[in-house]
Amino acid sequence: MDHDAKQYWGIKCADWPRLADCTKMRRKSLNYDFELAKRSEEMERKLKTDTGKAKFKERKTEIEPVFGDIKQNRGFTAFLCRGKAAALAELGLVCIAHNLVKIFRYLQANPAMAGMTN
């Protein structure tokens, strides 16, 4: 890892107050990433400002519906390929399909636009 993280292990942690944070395995472990925690706190602080609230509200109207449509209506809930490059390619194809459906629906609603050329 290129940043500060720790993994805590315990065998008999039935009395531990944060037992729910452990895995369901017999040997319990808890991973804590200090850098991620720091970035999460910083982002939470930014989102509590008026500018942050406005940006998050904008995101909910611009980005979230697209992913909701892809997951719910297209059934894309998990990547079939392994590896970052393959997953990015797969996501790219899903996004292209989403945009083609949008174009097709637009052209159906506006038939005059379908015959226009440059």
Instruction: State whether 8 and 45 are in the same domain.
Output: yes
Structurally, how many domains does the chain consist of?
A: 2
Instruction: State whether 44 and 68 are in the same domain.
Output: no
User: Digits of tens for pLDDT over the chain (118 positions)?
Assistant: 466 777 766 666 666 666 666 655 555 666 778 888 889 999 999 999 999 998 888 877 777 788 888 888 888 888 899 999 999 999 999 999 999 999 999 999 888 877 766 5
Instruction: State whether 54 and 70 are in the same domain.
Output: no
CA 38-21-5 angle, to 5 degrees, is 40
Instruction: State whether 79 and 43 are in the same domain.
Output: no
Instruction: State whether 8 and 53 are in the same domain.
Output: yes
Instruction: State whether 49 and 36 are in the same domain.
Output: yes
- Please list the helix, strand and coil fractions of the chain in percent, rounded to the nearest 5, in that order: 60, 10, 30
Q: From CA 95, how far away is CA 40, in angstroms rounded?
A: 28
Instruction: State whether 51 and 67 are in the same domain.
Output: no
